[in-house]
């Protein structure tokens, strides 16, 4: 297993939208599809945006 260096960064405040996913990691794509579909239906997908995943083991 490859270990990567941990980097701690301070970022400016930002608005976030979240969606829980419980289950197999292999099904995480469905959660992202659902989230992006919800955002697109409400015209909330800006030209530039960031995605952040927080995974709990």
pLDDT (tens digit, 9 = 90+) per residue, 1-57? 888 999 999 989 988 888 889 988 899 899 999 999 999 999 998 888 888 888 777
Q: How many CA atoms lie within 13 A of 5 on its CB side?
A: 3
Q: How many CB atoms lie within 10 A of CB 35?
A: 15
The DSSP output letter for 48 is: S
| Intra-chain end-to-end CA distance of the chain, in Å | 16
């Amino acid at each position: 297993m490859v270990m990567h260096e941990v980097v701690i960064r301070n970022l400016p405040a930002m608005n976030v939208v979240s969606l829980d996913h419980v289950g197999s990691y292999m099904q995480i794509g469905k959660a992202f599809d659902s989230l992006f579909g919800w955002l697109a239906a409400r015209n909330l997908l800006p030209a530039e945006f960031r995605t952040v995943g927080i995974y709990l083991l």
